[in-house]
Amino acid sequence: MRKIEIVDVSLREQAACNGSSLSFKEKIEVARQLDKLNVDAIETAPVVNGKNDIVFLHTLAPLMTRCVLACPVGLDPELLPDTWEALRTAKHPRLNVVAPVSTVQMEYQFHKKPPVVLDMIRAQVKACRELCEDVELSLQDATRAEADFLAQVIRAGIESGAGVITVCDTAGVMLPDEFNKFVASLSEAVPELKNVKLSFAYSNALHMAAACIFASVDTGFAQVKTTCAGVNEPSLRSIAHVFRAKGDALGVSCGINMTVLEKSYEQIRQILSGRAEQDECFDQPAAGELNFSLSKSDSRDAVAEAVRQMGYDLDDFALDSVYDSVQRIVQKKTEAVGPKELEAIIATVSLQVPPTYRLKSFVITSGNEITSYAHVILERDGAEVKGYGTGDGPIDAAFLAIEEILEHHFELDDFQIQSVTGGASAMGTTIVKLRYENKVYAGKGVSTDVVGAGIRAYIDAVNKICFEAGVK
């Protein structure tokens, strides 16, 4: 029984169709559901938004410990460093060199002659292979390419280090028997294909993608690309159903977890179509349904287990931050930290940019007959920096103290306080939005102390400005 790998391109296709309409959390949830489905690889959108895309992939990478995390890169060598920077922390990274090979795409869309494109492909695949052991070469519109040139490109890609060759019927113009003959002739023309992983990406324009793929079983292909939404690739669900119904007869199998197929597929589809509700997107138990409490005597392992019960998969750095936050909270509360409070902490300290500034301590004096005064100590690059501020209330004084440290003023666009839990020792979440160069950066802070939550939210927003806008 030959196993065929399933690559899901839902995140790539969604970004191509709708830009960046998905939130950070929604994209993470799509990837988590795909991992639960046991897809062999997840292909993301290309890194075109600089540090925003890098932060997303850095956050996603530690969560994908089993499957391959692939990222497309075109033929522009200047885009490769950012793409690799975003992908390099993944356990199983793959760089996918996407290149046009038909005359219509090379000359009329890419504005390059075939010999130039061939040289660019050879150079880009080689550069990718020097960075990453797993390199894929995707041949756009391959079914309409000149046969001799296509064979040249495949040989050049393999010689330069590509271990996966993806043949794309981008226009979706072939019927099953035509596609089968096309792949058979290609394998005959390029015997080197048997030494690499042959992959198919077939447009579903004629609604015959699954038929074309399974008609070519005898060609020995090892990978197929699917999606959970959109029409550009065959449906993951339809491909999985064919495997389940005819896999034994065809002598092929896939690793898709059929027991969760319908539920996870529908959740992904709803997220990608923008119709998902929060309670539907997450199949882990709601925080209120869990029953645990964390006190000052609980160890890091106990916190890690509670985090796992809530359905989160955090790396060691994020888990350390959650544990530190729990300890900080329980030192101030008479009650233990419960599921709702832990969820707020996780949302605050995980999925964040690398911190330029960390809060060490703060002292606030305030009253109805005195001017509010704040003394804030932050840490940057291992060194403590101090700031002092007086203002109209403790929050204003604290923010002015931070501005003194930063030597920079940011316009406060919004400030919100939300209660997470009830009672006298309720924990609150504060949202701070800062405006810099006509862009709003939001930060979140959680604490039993409103001022402390506000300071942490302000620093969180500042760290995003430092990372994304390069402010020091």
Task: Kindly tell me if the per-residue pLDDT of 311 is higher than 50.
Answer: yes
- Please give the average per-residue pLDDT across 273-299, as a whole number: 57
Percent of the chain with pLDDT strictly greater than 70: 87
Round to whole Å and give the CA distance between 390 and 189. Answer: 77
The structural domains of the chain, with segments of one domain joined by +, span 2-280, 287-349, 358-469
Q: Quick one: the chain helix, strand, coil %, rounded to 5?
A: 45, 20, 30
- Please give the average per-residue pLDDT across 93-100, as a whole number: 95
Whether 305 and 341 have beta carbons less than 8 Å apart is answered as: no
- pLDDT tens for each residue of 102-134: 988 898 778 889 999 999 999 999 999 999 999
The residue type of 250 is L
- CATH numeric code, 358-469: 3.30.160.270
Task: Kindly tell me if the per-residue pLDDT of 151 is higher than 90.
Answer: yes
Sheet holding 383-391, edge to edge: 358-365, 372-380, 383-391
- pLDDT tens for each residue of 224-269: 999 987 667 889 999 999 999 999 999 999 999 998 888 889 888 8
- CATH numeric code, 2-280: 3.20.20.70
Q: How confident is the model at residue 428 (pLDDT cuts 50, 70, 90)?
A: low
pLDDT at 140: 93
Indicate the average pLDDT of the chain.
84
- Please give the average per-residue pLDDT across 418-446, as a whole number: 70
Report which secondary-structure segment, H or E, holds 2.
strand 2-3
Q: How confident is the model at residue 41 (pLDDT cuts 50, 70, 90)?
A: very high
pLDDT at 284: 42
- Please give the average per-residue pLDDT across 175-199, as a whole number: 92
Three-class secondary structure assignment of 381-393: CCEEEEEEEEECC
Round to whole Å and give the CA distance between 457 and 449. Answer: 12
Task: Kindly tell me if the per-residue pLDDT of 47 is higher than 50.
Answer: yes
Task: Kindly tell me if the per-residue pLDDT of 310 is higher than 80.
Answer: no
C-alpha angle with apex 104: 100 to 105, nearest 5 degrees? 25
Return phi, psi of residue 24, to 5°. -55, -45
pTM of the shown model: 0.62
- pLDDT tens for each residue of 326-378: 888 887 766 678 776 776 676 566 555 667 898 999 999 888 778 889 999 99
| Residue 381, token pair as written in the block | 């690059």
| Residue 17, token pair as written in the block | 């169709």
Task: Kindly tell me if the per-residue pLDDT of 280 is higher than 50.
Answer: no
C-alpha angle with apex 425: 419 to 431, nearest 5 degrees? 30
Checking DSSP bridges between strand 223-226 and strand 197-202, what pairing results, if any? parallel
Task: Kindly tell me if the per-residue pLDDT of 74 is higher than 60.
Answer: yes
